[in-house]
Structure formats: structure tokens, C-alpha cells
Amino acid sequence: MKPVGECSARNGMCTSMDGSPAVMNDGGPGEGSGAACCHRAGDEFYMREALKCAKRAFAKGEAPVGAVIVKGGAIIARAHNEREAKQDATLHAEMTAIRKACKKLGLWRLTGCVMYVTLEPCAMCAGAAVLARLDRVVYGASDPKAGACGTVLDVIGAPGLNHRPEVSQGVMRGDCASLLTSFFTKLRKKPPSPMIDPLGNGGQQSE
């Protein structure tokens, strides 16, 4: 194990849930979690997989947010936004990924699982991560309008919860934000439609 210095964790430093300095695994994708750390070996690998899902959403005219859930080094669920296609407000990438993972494992408790998502989860999705007992949530771009992992709200970090997943942010932030910006820029050039940029500030964030 090697100490990890400054990074883009919630408070700018890698820390474990108890506030102690964190350490990073030396291993690659699929290695056990070992100790708590904001960014770990393998995070970019899995975030790239989430970005692939987000790009599929982009191609379908959905806000480009993708998510994957990993257990024991294997991806057990992949999903992207489907809210527009199915006209269902709950079909964010995280919600669909959690449903798929529960079905795959035959369990509602996703203990030992990590969710990678390209955009900071909203209140609904952050709450679902808590209820599903995910070990960790890793996201790329922060959401200044709806982010519920410490930006606007801190659903996961709320005191009194009986389970709080670890949260890591900023993994491939630039790539994740760029995809969202490109999508909403393209959207603005089209004739008016029911789907608009919910931010009105460059389209970087929010599902």
C-alpha cells in the first residue's frame, strides 16, 4: 500500500470514512478494495466503461449519463439514461444499473459492489445507492444544480443513516463533462423540443 496525497475528493484530500488518511491499492482492475481511498487503481478503467454507456445515451438523444456496477472486479450491470425514450422520470442511469445488479445477484443488498457513474447522482439516485447498500459510489462530473453527493445536497453523507457508501469524485471529470456539454450544445441547435438543458448554463450537468 502507498499513501495518496492531494486529489479531487470531496474535501480535496483522500480520506477514509473515519477521516483518517487513505491508501491506494497498487493492483489493477478487479483487485479487492483493500482500504478506503478517493481514487483507486482501476477507477479510470471502470469509468471508461460508464462513458461508453453515456455515449450510447447520446446517440439515442438522451442526456449522456452512463453507469456501471462492479463486484469482485466484474461488471455486473451497465445502464444509461432512458428517461426520454420511456417517459419515466425514474429511469436515470444509476436507477437502472441498480435494478439490473439486484436482478443479476438475486439480492437487494449490493454489498461489495461499487457504482461508477459519469455524473454526480441526484437525490433519487443517491438515496437508492444508500438503500441498496453499495460499498462505494464513484462519479465523474459534479452537478452544481442537482448533485446530491456533496455539491447541492449530501444525501449519502447525511448523519444518522445506518449505511453510507464511500464517495469519490472527479474520475475522468473532463471527459464526462465534455460529453454533457457537447450534447446540450448540439441540442440547442435543433428546433425546440420537450427536452431542454435543465441548467441553461452551458449544459455541463444534470439529468
Catalytic positions, written as ranges: 94
Give the total residue count for the chain. 207
Nearest to 63 by CA among 49, 80, 47: 80
CB 26 within 8 A of CB 41: yes
Q: Please give the C-alpha separations between residue 181 and each of 50, 177, 188, 202, in angstroms, as whole numbers.
A: 17, 6, 11, 6
Residues 14, 162: Cα–Cα separation, whole Å = 23
Cβ neighbours of residue 182 closer than 8 Å, sequence gap 6 or more? 58
